[in-house]
Structure 1
């Protein structure tokens, strides 16, 4: 591990134009963003909107084509407007392979394997793809959520591919190429605002790399920037998501306990949270998204004997969708030919993101078991995901239609649009409200 002293622990990004560059270095004018998904594309658009030339790289040709037309292939507030402007202005172009640039930001997925270990193939492939175009003075920043030590391993990989260049793991403060780790901290649906306003951790493989990376984010970031080592930054990102997972697990376990005792969990949580030092989160049908269900495993597999709490929380949250499916199945057994409304498939309210969604898992489980006819209402998608598509007993419909025809209404996501559903119709149905949508309105 490379250690160094940061004389200025936090840094308030100034409201100014493009950075002028570290002493003796050329200013960063061209940035390549590798991976144009939920993090990479908004980041690329913001950088381009600040006057930098941005080269976006993604393997999906359909996504590249849409971006070059100024249209986003993901749903995100205000992204289409910014994207259209920067593409028409010639500041952003998308490609399927890298070109030379002054800085490279890697924002590719890091899923888990079947045995819950980090799958780093996309990061490794991204590094391999930029190796041929690297030159002295370039900066590489990994944003993908990764196990501790990833940036060091990335440097070793690049060193083997480009032995003509010095990297900061082997030549700290004297490297030809700068390397840092800077994890994203965004909330889908509010990505652009949070990219600008949220604090950033910039973990350099050496001090010079941290300072160089800060120049890039200073173009658009207004939150504090804390400089750190790459290992500290990697661990901090994983700690954030593990913290949330553990707290959600407590809420989910408490909800299961309350239901078993015939107590309203939402009322219990509201009352407990009146305590000035208690803040129990809201329970739900499980935990979804690309971060919280995955990232805690990176910490657990690093030191499994020292992380029983993280593993237990994962078990609670991973087990919640099956509990919900079993409950719906028991209720469905009361009906001869049950019709089940499933309200919501996204992993969180008001987005189209289905990654690791517990709602999708619940719907798939019910469909696999043939529990009844499923009427899926997800207002943010135009077609069913592959797990549910093509099944004769599964149909994507409007929320009002689903409620009107259903015997059982299962609320899995608290989309804003569901707040306008006919309450009289709901009152005459069997309702499984996993997110407390109706309880919140009553409160």
Structure 2
């Protein structure tokens, strides 16, 4: 199937993955209709601006909108291909995946589907989700034939193609990275591969939907296990009074050792969530993956213990000062450096906990957002200079580039990213 067959592409969900993907397609002079329930995001995009932070994205969106290759709307419209890029969180009861957003997207596009359409799910999903999509769509459109697991063809082709990009570098990696494409049938795989080859310079590797779904989960679970090793090492070093940054630097001098850096935990929608999707699917076979997830999930509490100790030390040094008068500053709320994404952020979790338990001023430094999120109503959003000047306790949670240039503040310091304690000087590899 010629890539030119897809004259109109609809992207459902205009968030951190959907909007860059829509913009890249539009930059190839394909008509793109982006769909999102967020009216503010839709209006922002249609004005040629963006509602998220991603280097290089706004220029592409502005150009695509100006040239009328991209527009956004709140209601699905007809298209040749539909890409679904919506959230897949937990449902709040244990670690069962919440597929309601994917199902809602399917039900939203069902009325406008036509024979010959291609639907691609990009959302990170548990194994079997692509097949569930076919069932949901079949129930909504009994007049159309949808593919079944095993390769039976239908009027509509359905495939799974997960994103594999690094926030902050999305616009480059969308083009350069390989893509795994798993269709419900060979025709769906080949058509989805043709669609992505309109902009992907890496390889488009074809497999089945279930394997593609598990491949995405496996990639992030692998990284989670490695980060858990670094985080556990930081606990061991703290117990044994050893500098973890020096230890990792020395261990990484071995030609076959590449330990990541520890941090306050693991955040983001992918690495903090995807391993649980595997555990949910195969609970008896995933002891290592579960344990790694538990190590990383417990790290914020360890950080809070260190902050409480630092507050206690600061109060001892200031006998005339009460806890209600002691300013504490946290540096960074995003889930990783140099982005505005707060999803599943351990730094944000720590800040919210401090907001509830520390009676004194809480100063939050996050240069990548304009306003503090909910749960931090009593805190102050301040500059680096204000935090350095006013706080008695300083907590480094996210190693944004601005913090690396600002020097070490005076007072009690809790540094879980090695910015003030020498990790960067040692040249260790930073964890993603």
User: Which TM-score bucket, shorter chain as reference?
Assistant: over 0.9
Secondary structure of the equivalent of 2:86?
A: coil
Aligned to 1:11: none
Equivalent residue, structure 1, for 2:429: none
In the other structure, the counterpart of 1:440 is 423
Residue deviations 1:27-64, cap 9 Å, x none? Answer: 11100000000000000000011011101000000100
What's 2:193 paired with? 214
Report if aligned partners of 1:366, 1:372 keep a CA contact under 8 Å in 2: no
* CA offset digits 1:348-378 (Å, max 9, x no partner): 1111111111111111111111253211111
Contact 1:347 1:358 in 2 (8 A): yes
Partner Cα distance (1:148, 1:308) in 2: 18
Which 10-residue stretch deviates more, 335-344 or 123-132?
A: 335-344
Alignment-derived partner of residue 237 in structure 2:
258
Contact 1:332/1:371 (CA < 8 Å) preserved in 2?
Answer: no
1:62-77 matches, cutoff 5 A: 62-77=40-55
Q: Distance in 2 between matches of 1:46 and 1:109?
A: 20
Q: Quick one: distance in 2 between partners of 1:442 and 1:163?
A: 63
Give yes or no for contact 1:284–1:435 (8 Å, CA) kept in 2.
Answer: yes
* Residues 57-96 of structure 1: pairs in structure 2 closer than 5 A: 57-96=35-74
> How far off is 1:171 after superposition?
8.3
| Residue in structure 2 matched with residue 418 of structure 1 by the alignment | 403
Q: Secondary structure at the match of 2:5?
A: coil
The answer for unaligned runs of 5 or more in structure 2 is 316-321, 427-432
Partner of 1:174, secondary structure, is coil
Match of 2:277 in 1: 298
CA distance in 2, matches of 1:265, 1:174: 55
The counterpart of 1:309, out of the listed 283, 288, 303, is 288
Q: CA deviation at 1:442?
A: 3.3
Counterpart CA distance in 1 for 2:54 and 2:394 is: 28
Residue 194 of structure 1, aligned match among 149, 156, 173: 173
**Structure 2 residue 38 is matched with structure 1 residue 56:** no
CA contact (8 A) 1:168 1:178 kept: yes
State the partner residue of 2:369: 381
Question: What are the superposed Cα offsets for residues 173-201 of structure 1, whole Å, 9 maximum, x if unpaired?
Answer: 53211110000011111111010001100
The answer as to whether partners of 2:310 and 2:413 remain within 8 angstroms in 1 is no
Residues 150 and 184, structure 2, Cα contact 8 Å, conserved in 1:
no
CA distance in 2, matches of 1:441, 1:345: 20
User: Of residues 431, 436, 442 in structure 1, which corresponds to 2:413?
Assistant: 431
| Secondary structure, aligned partner of 1:45 | helix
What TM-score results when the alignment is normalised by the length of structure 1? 0.91
- Does structure 1 residue 38 correspond to structure 2 residue 16? yes
Q: Kindly state the Cα deviation for residue 274 of structure 1 after the two structures are TM-superposed.
A: 1.0
Higher mean C-alpha deviation, range 112-121 or range 223-232: 112-121
Q: Could you tell me which of 74, 80, 103 is aligned with 1:124?
A: 103
State the Cα deviation string for residues 209-267 of structure 1 (Å, max 9, x = none). 00000111111100111100000000000001111111111100110110111000011
For residues 150 and 368 of structure 2, the distance between their equivalents in structure 1, rounded to whole angstroms, comes to: 49
In the alignment, the residues of structure 2 paired with residue 263 and residue 371 of structure 1 have an alpha-carbon distance, to the nearest angstrom, of 32
1:356-371 alignment to 2 at 5 Å?
A: 356-370=344-358
1:287 is matched with 266
Q: Distance in 1 between matches of 2:88 and 2:255?
A: 38
SS of the aligned residue for 2:362 comes to strand
Q: CA deviation at 1:441?
A: 3.7
Larger CA deviation: 290-299 vs 433-442: 433-442
Contact 2:131 2:149 in 1 (8 A): no
Shift of 1:382: 1.3
Partners of 1:172 and 1:411 lie apart in 2 by: 52
Report the equivalent of 2:2. 20
Indicate if the aligned counterparts of 2:126 and 2:278 stay in contact, CA closer than 8 A.
Answer: yes
SS for the counterpart of 1:437 is coil
CA 1:175–1:386 in 2, change beyond 3 Å: closer, same or farther? same
Distance 2:425 2:222 in 1: 30
Secondary structure of the corresponding residue to residue 333 of structure 1 = helix
What are the equivalent positions in structure 2 for 1:140-151 lying under 5 Å apart? 140-151=119-130
